[in-house]
Chain A
Amino acid sequence: MQYLCLVYIDEHVFDEMSEREGKQLVNDALDYDDELRRRSHYVTSAALQPVATATTVRVRNGKVSTTDGPFAETKEHLGGFILIEARDLNEAIKAASGIPMARIGSIEVRPVMQIQRTDLGD
């Protein structure tokens, strides 16, 4: 079963890091992706650019509205994600707890839902 690990982080934490610490974190993240591959958990992942680069798009009544910024103003923002394959939630939690960013941010672990088309007869 697939679980999406959403990595939430308060970007101010990066401001307080030295350049070397920041680069170590990136190395650790990539190392862990490899570790997940070895354990047959890894499906795909990506780090995201800082929240300042975010744009939010909504369409209401046929009108497209585009605003600067993330979907919601929160202390922690989405910093990246890892999609994993795991037998059950305990396995997913174990995989998520090894994510280097889990030490400084929060990882939301959510099961992926299988959706199908329905013939609505029109």
Chain B
Amino acid sequence: MAEDAAEIRQRVEAIYRSDSRRVLATLIRLLGDFELAEEALHDAFAAAADQWARDGMPKNPRAWLVSAGRFKAIDRLRRRARFDASVAELARQYDEVEDGGAGTDESVADDRLRLIFTCCHPALPPDAQIALTLREVCGLTTEEIARAFLVPAPTVAQRIVRAKGKIREARIPYEVPERAALPDRLDIVLHVIYLVFNEGYSASSGASLTRNDLSAEAIRLGRLLAELLPDPEVLGLLALMLLNDSRRVARASPEGDLVLLADQNRSLWDRDEIAEGAALAKKALSSPGFGAYAVQAAIAGVHAHTSDPAATDWTEIAGLYDLLIKADPSPVVELNRAVAIAERDGAEAGLRIIDAILKRGDLAGYHFAHSARAELLRRLGRKAEALTAYERALGIAQQEPERRFLQRRLAELQSQ
């Protein structure tokens, strides 16, 4: 006997929220085309809302939806084929593709991995990788992505259309990379996820310090990847994101001003995220093949387990930075290491390193390099130089809370 119609509709909506991305991933594999799969997904859920109300819930809703989507797509193609013979051939081909356990957990897991790796293919431009991943894997709308990255919606739409076009025309295959290619390809996926997280964690320009939704989306993506591919760097990235996110509330004052790590109210840190992040970091670091994300997570972990900032174990942190610089010898890591060394050995030691970086020509346009330098100069009593450095940082910083912080520092120093 058919269940109550309103209840069925609620369950369809719930299944949409929880499973639509997984169904989409499988449909993309079966139909070989993003657009076709998206239309099929829409048709399948429409059919579900209709038929399940009449016939009751199917035993395996996901498999039902995949099947329905596929048949609807073939139907569509047949109708179009009446006007275009080449489409008839396509319809025939799709009909022959076997369902092959679609909807079983194994194929679904592979399909979502396939989708992530395809969206993050190196042949696609980086901003398209981000837009496509957020759209297809996370299910964000074009408008939501546009708002999150402060980019016009038509620009985002165009990036996505072009990316799908390239996938189609250059024939980027829908597959998980082979073993030899996996490390490099995974690096890109992790980089995309981390970019999304950072965009949410510390918005690059504009009034608000964090955009929680993006960080939450990135963490969700990280969890999905950790479930499907528990590589130590995947665990390391998820750990890092959780540990950073645990400080989200404490990072901004009620007025939206920046609060430095040393000044944060540590009772506001999310203990659950810290526990989860620390456990993942530990697991990552104890596996062979851990890299930069795992070490960064370890550093975040040291802070997370320190209740009194004055008691921070800077020796351990500096040691971890020595490890990090081997995994990721970038100027930004050098800078962060310099800050840790300043804490451990004194301002002079840290300043020497930062000056060397800037003298090389690196990080000239990175406001944090100048503000870190300014802080060390301030500690050494070199007031005039500190003021110049803060002004330099202010000239570069774009985000309001960071600008206000630098202005306050400048004002404090000037009044001394």
Spell out A's residues near B (CB within 8 Å): 1, 87-91, 93-94, 110-111
Contact = CB atoms under 8 A, between A and B. Distances in A.
Interface string B170-196: 111101010001000000000000000
Contacts of A87: 173
23 contacts: A1-B171, A87-B173, A88-B171, A88-B172, A88-B173, A89-B121, A89-B123, A89-B170, A89-B171, A89-B172, A89-B173, A90-B172, A90-B173, A90-B175, A90-B177, A90-B181, A91-B173, A93-B123, A94-B181, A110-B170, A111-B169, A111-B170, A111-B171
Given A89-B170, A89-B172, A93-B123, 13 more contacts: A1-B171, A88-B172, A89-B121, A89-B171, A89-B173, A90-B173, A90-B175, A90-B177, A90-B181, A94-B181, A110-B170, A111-B170, A111-B171
A1 B177 CA distance: 19
A1 B172 CA distance: 12
A37 to B, nearest CB: 22
Nearest to B123: A89
Interface string B108-134: 000000000000010100000000000
Contacts of A93: 123
Nearest to B173: A88
Contacts of B121: 89
Give me the 10 closest cross-chain CB pairs, A-B, nearest first.
A88-B173, A88-B171, A89-B172, A89-B170, A111-B170, A89-B171, A90-B173, A1-B171, A89-B123, A111-B169
Contacts of A110: 170
Contacts of B123: 89, 93
Contacts of B170: 89, 110-111
A104 B121 CA distance: 24
Nearest to B171: A88
Interface string B125-147: 00000000000000000000000
Contacts of B171: 1, 88-89, 111
Contacts of A90: 172-173, 175, 177, 181
Nearest to B180: A94
Nearest to B172: A89
A104 B4 CA distance: 69
Contacts of A91: 173
Among B171, B172, B177, the one with the most A-chain Cβ atoms within 10 Å of its Cβ is B171
A61 B175 CA distance: 49
A91 B172 CA distance: 9
A97 to B, nearest CB: 10
Contacts of A89: 121, 123, 170-173
A69 B121 CA distance: 36
B34 to A, nearest CB: 15
B173 to A, nearest CB: 4
A110 B166 CA distance: 11
A5 to B, nearest CB: 13
A111 B173 CA distance: 13
A110 B170 CA distance: 7
A90 B175 CA distance: 9
B16 to A, nearest CB: 31
